[in-house]
Amino acid sequence: MNNFLWALKFLTIIPFDRGDKIKPEKSGLLVIWFPVVGFCIGICLLFAYLPLYFIFPHLVANGLILIAYIAITGSMHLDGLADTCDGIWGGWNKERRLEIMKDSRIGSFGTIGLICLIGLKYLCLYSIGKRPTLNISTFSICTPGVSCFLSPGLVNTCIALLIMPVMGRWAQVCASGLSTYARSLSGTGSFILESATLKHVLYTTPLPLCLLWFFYGLKGFGIFAIIVIFTLTVIWYIKKKIGGMTGDTLGFTNEVAELVFLLGIFL
């Protein structure tokens, strides 16, 4: 359990180890728990959204749940997104791009990236909540009476909130297992990139794939294929720019994979 608890501590701000007593047993096993931690985050978002939905207008509830999500993760991945946008599109060579990404200040590309991503996520959640029916899936077949108590729009939003963090963390594992660390000196993401392999990617794939199939049926496989293609494209593009991945680019991959998942729901 130390590996799971350490991954939970690393990916969230839940204060259950103030004395820093939890140490991972094997660094290679840490990344296996990333999608599971994403599932735990999704459960928290689901139960947080239900009272918000019934207390506030839907537009406000969607904004508050995104703020709650940012708070749970300590905005770590959003910071990586901003740094990656600044570095990749603000530098003219590998060294300059890595130098910009190391700078704690945010630039115009990072600001634009944050605004676009958060805005699109908000609009996706709003649009998902307007869908009048449930997807034809194992979930809809097993729970035919769920629409008697909850509206299809609410159920669709809750499902999206549950799976979204899982897909982001899986994309991180995929990017780590299929790439190398771009910097010569160790950093926040170095131990993840150095320990993850293709084997870990295969180990973590069943959880997101089963969730997508259970809640979205055959369409879930299409959504997963799109996320895989996106992740492979990101890896290729970032390798072309800086020669590998960093902790910032893993955060970038996480955030945009979540957005791709939300957009894939509308297929």
Measured distance CA(143)–CA(140) in Å, rounded:
5
Classify residue 22: in a domain, yes or no: no
Per-residue pLDDT, 216:
94
The pair of three-digit structure tokens given for residue 208, joined into one six-digit string? 């997101």
Q: What's the DSSP call for residue 178?
A: T
Q: How far apart are CA 242 and CA 237, in angstroms?
A: 9
Residue 218: pLDDT band with limits 50, 70, 90: very high
| Nearest 10 degrees: Cα torsion 96, 98, 101, 104 | -80
Residue pair 189/245 in contact (Cβ under 8 Å)? The answer is yes
More confident residue, 9 or 82: 82
Between CA 177 and CA 32 the distance in angstroms is 11
- 73, two tokens: 């993760």
Region 30-45: what's the mean pLDDT? Answer: 94
Tokens describing residue 62 = 């969607």
What pLDDT, on a 0 to 100 scale, did the predictor assign at position 25?
A: 64
Q: What is the pLDDT of residue 28?
A: 64
- pLDDT of residue 2 exceeding 70, the answer is yes
Burial of residue 133 (number of CB atoms within 10 Å: 0-12, 13-18, 19+): exposed
The answer to whether residue 93 sits within a structural domain is yes
Per-residue model confidence (pLDDT) at position 147: 64
pLDDT value at residue 197: 86
pLDDT for residue 151: 87
Answer whether residue 64 is part of any domain: yes
Residue 7 domain flag: no
Give the domain extent around 78: 31-137+147-264
Does the residue 215 lie in any domain?
A: yes
Dist CA 199 CA 176 (whole Å): 11
Give a yes or no: residue 192 inside a domain.
yes
Mean pLDDT over 38-65 rounds to 95
pLDDT in tens, 114-172: 999 999 999 999 999 998 888 888 888 887 767 667 888 899 999 999 999 999 999 99
pLDDT at 162: 96
Q: How far is CA 182 from CA 22, 26, 79, 207, in A?
A: 28, 23, 18, 29
Cβ-Cβ contacts under 8 Å for 180 (sequence gap 6 or more): 193, 244, 245
Q: Identify which of 46, 57, 30 has the alpha carbon closest to the alpha carbon of residue 189.
A: 30
Average pLDDT, the chain: 89
Domain annotation covers residue 176? yes
What is the widest separation between alpha-carbon atoms in the chain? Answer: 58
Quote the CA–CA distance of 160 and 145 in Å, as a whole number. Answer: 20
- What pLDDT is stored for residue 43 in this prediction? 96
Dist. CA 2–CA 261, nearest whole Å: 30
pLDDT tens-digit map of 161-212: 999 999 999 999 999 988 888 887 776 677 788 778 899 999 999 999 999 9
CA distances from 41 to 6, 72, 89, 145, 225 (A): 15, 8, 31, 26, 23
SS3 category, 7: helix
Question: pLDDT, tens digit, for every residue of 228-266?
Answer: 999 999 999 999 999 889 989 999 999 999 999 999 999
> Is the pLDDT at 54 greater than 90, yes or no?
yes
Q: With respect to residue 25, please indicate whether it lies within any of the assigned structural domains.
A: no
Number of structural domains (the chain) is: 1
One-letter amino acid at 74 equals G
**pLDDT tens-digit readout, 90-106:** 888 888 888 898 888 88
